[in-house]
Amino acid sequence: MITILVCDHEDASAEILVSALRDRGYANVRRISSSDDPGPEAPPTDVLVVNHHSQNPAGLGEVAGLKSRLPDAAVIAVVSAGPVMRSMREWNRENKVIDAIIEKPLSDERFFSVLDDLATARRAAREQQLLLDQLSRLVPAPALTAIRQDPGQSSRLFEAAIVFTDIRRSTRQITSLRPADYFEQLNSVLSAQTRILEQHEGVLVKYTGDGLLAMFCGLGRSRLALAAATALAADNPRHRLNYGIGIAQGLVLAGFVGDPHVGNLRRQYDVVGATVHLAARLCNLAPAGEIYAQRSMLARWHDVPHVDIGPVTIRGFDQPINCVGVRPANPETIQS
């Protein structure tokens, strides 16, 4: 439903305008005087209608103030013909606050035609924003950024820290529980893991069935990944489904998997590379509730408590990987 806010400091003209809008079918119409503040608790406004009176001392400054408090609202100004309208048009050319200026009196369809167009545009924009909000919960943030910045959606190579989690003995768990019960527990565990990762500035790339893949980018990525993994390990005893954690750092390639030249072919954002495989292999090796990581991740963080595991032969890698088990007493030991 479209929400309209009428700003008019004269009661008589405000009543006429509000009644005309409601007669037109706009049920959600609210009025404030020009000196009122819509307030932080006010519902979102789609269209702001300002009935401008030349004798109002606040005038155009008030319109700008309302727009600053309602930045997403379309603005229609209703104004008398002559010098006042010319002045308003000149002011709006500089300030670009008003979307449409309509001449009084409102004796024809121009006002309602403009209002209908703006209301339709706002409704479409709101629906599109709702869709984007829903999409942002389904698609990793880097994927949305890639779509906006790179229409060709080419792959990108960069340094990242990768975190994998995987539930232990999941086959036994799913065969001993009703499918709905297992799914409920799985959803609870993965949701908790996602919250922890996001609290540590991690990006969820995807759920992997019984676990997840996340990445940390930018400065401090290894520290953030270690802190997140430690928090994940600390949270593990709270859940019936136990999981191991693996971390690796290095170059990764991120992009969309799927042929961009086939119109209806589904595509998926993913990160690939030896670093991703290493993190997955380390996760597979880690006992439930424990973290396995490359020793090189601790190169700058000598204060992180750990246990040396030594060189480990990992399938797919020519040379053994020097690994550690990260076992801090609590997550805060890595936060500082």
pTM: 0.62
Residues 6+ apart with CB under 8 A from 224: 161, 200, 201, 202, 216
pLDDT at 284: 92
Q: What is the mean pLDDT of residues 177-203?
A: 92
Residues 239, 242, 248, 253, Cα dihedral to 10°: -80
The Cα 125–Cα 2 span in angstroms is 12
Confidence of residue 334 (pLDDT cuts 50, 70, 90): very low
The Cα 116–Cα 118 span in angstroms is 6
Whether the predicted pLDDT of 335 surpasses 50: no
Lowest mean pLDDT among 156-165, 272-281, 312-321: 312-321
Q: What mean pLDDT is reported for the chain?
A: 83
Residue carrying structure tokens 């229409």: 151
List of domains in the chain: 4-136 (3.40.50.2300), 141-335 (3.30.70.1230)
Plot region of 267 (φ>0 → left; ψ -120 to 50 → alpha; else → beta): beta
Share of residues in the chain with pLDDT > 70 (%): 84
The Cα 305–Cα 294 span in angstroms is 14
Whether the predicted pLDDT of 331 surpasses 50: no
Residue carrying structure tokens 């090189």: 296
| Residues 265, 258 contacting (CB under 8 angstroms) | yes
Question: Which residues are bridge partners to 226 per DSSP?
Answer: none
pLDDT digits (tens, 9 = 90+) for 61-106: 888 888 888 888 889 988 888 888 888 899 899 989 999 998 887 7
The Cα 246–Cα 154 span in angstroms is 28
Beta strands per DSSP E along the chain: 4-7, 29-32, 47-51, 74-79, 100-103, 156-167, 203-207, 211-216, 243-257, 268-272, 291-294, 306-312, 321-326
The Cα 77–Cα 30 span in angstroms is 16
pLDDT at 149: 59
Burial of 235 (0-12, 13-18, 19+ CB in 10 A): middle
Question: Which residues are bridge partners to 32 per DSSP?
Answer: 7
pLDDT digits (tens, 9 = 90+) for 294-328: 888 877 766 777 788 888 888 888 888 888 888 75
Whether the predicted pLDDT of 214 surpasses 90: yes
Crossing angle of helices 60-69/83-95, nearest 10°?
40
The Cα 46–Cα 167 span in angstroms is 47
| Residues 18, 10 contacting (CB under 8 angstroms) | no
